[in-house]
Amino acid sequence: MLSVLCDFPGTMYRPAKLRKLFASRACRKSVMIGTALTLPQMEKNCPHGRPTLRHLCSLSTKADDDRSEKAQK
C-alpha cells in the first residue's frame, strides 16, 4: 500500500475492502421498506440520492377539483 501511495501521490487510494465497507454502510443507512418517516425526513434524499418523497399532485388542488365536481352535479 505504501508503494502505491508513493508511486501515485495525490491519488486517493481505497482498498477493495474499504470500498465494500463504505457501500455496505450506505445501504444500511438508506430508507428501508416499511420504515415510518417524519415529514422532515421525507423532504430529504436517501444516501443513494434517490428521493424519498415524490409529489404526484397537490392535495389542495385535488380538494378544489372535488368541490368543483360536486358543485356541478
* SS3 of residue 62 by DSSP: helix
36 Cα distance to chain centroid: 15
Q: Please name which of 8, 50, 6, 53 lies closest in space to residue 29, comparing C-alpha atoms.
A: 50
Report pTM: 0.30
pLDDT, position 9? 74
Read off the pLDDT of residues 26-41 as tens digits, 9 standing for 90 and up. 766 666 777 777 777 7
Count of structural domains, the chain: 1
Domain that residue 62 falls in: 2-72
Q: How far apart are CA 37 and CA 31, in angstroms?
A: 9
Q: How far apart are CA 71 and CA 65, in angstroms?
A: 10
Read off the pLDDT of residues 2-57 as tens digits, 9 standing for 90 and up. 666 667 677 766 778 877 887 777 766 666 777 777 777 776 666 565 665 566 77
